[in-house]
């Protein structure tokens, strides 16, 4: 089983799709990593040798921010927006959508369970 960046990759999937299980790596970046390391994207994860896994790990560490570091960076970015008092920061603080969606009828995921007013 290949373990890269603290994530166990699914054994039976192709390598290019298996790498997308790592937070911060999408399909495009996965293909770029495989191109840089010279590994065939059609290989399955369980077919990777130890050298292949090492080269993928080295490439990811050299040129990508993934998993815990990326999550920490995103959280710090949101916190800085909130500290600045920007509009997006206020929306984050109130638990409302911050990308321009309407909230009169939708946004239940962000707003939570409906709070009825005046129902006896």
Q: What CATH number did the domain enclosing 45 receive?
A: 1.10.8.50
Average pLDDT, the chain: 93
Contact of 46 with 40, CB cutoff 8 Å = no
Q: What is the pLDDT of residues 103-116, one digit of tens each?
A: 998 999 999 998 88
Average pLDDT, integer, range 4-8: 90
Q: Is the pLDDT of residue 120 over 70?
A: no
Q: What CATH number did the domain enclosing 91 receive?
A: 4.10.910.10
- Answer yes or no: is 118 within a domain: no
Contacts from 34-41 at CB under 8 Å and sequence distance 24+?
36/63, 39/15, 40/15, 41/14, 41/15, 41/16
Q: What is the pLDDT of residues 29-68, one digit of tens each?
A: 999 999 999 999 999 999 999 999 999 999 999 999 999 9
Structural domain harbouring 36: 3-64
Residue ranges of E strands in the chain: 3-4, 7-8
pTM value? 0.80
């Amino acid at each position: 089983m290949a373990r890269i960046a603290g994530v166990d990759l699914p054994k039976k999937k192709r390598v290019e799709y298996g790498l997308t299980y790592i937070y911060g790596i999408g399909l495009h970046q996965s293909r770029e990593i495989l191109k840089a390391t010279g590994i065939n994207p059609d290989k399955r994860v369980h077919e990777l040798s130890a050298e292949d896994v090492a080269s993928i790990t080295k490439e990811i560490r050299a040129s990508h921010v993934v998993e815990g570091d990326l999550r920490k960076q995103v959280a710090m970015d949101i916190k800085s927006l909130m500290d600045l008092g920007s509009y997006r920061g206020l929306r984050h603080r109130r638990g409302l959508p911050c990308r321009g969606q309407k909230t009169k009828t939708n946004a239940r995921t962000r707003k939570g369970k409906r709070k009825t007013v005046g129902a006896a």
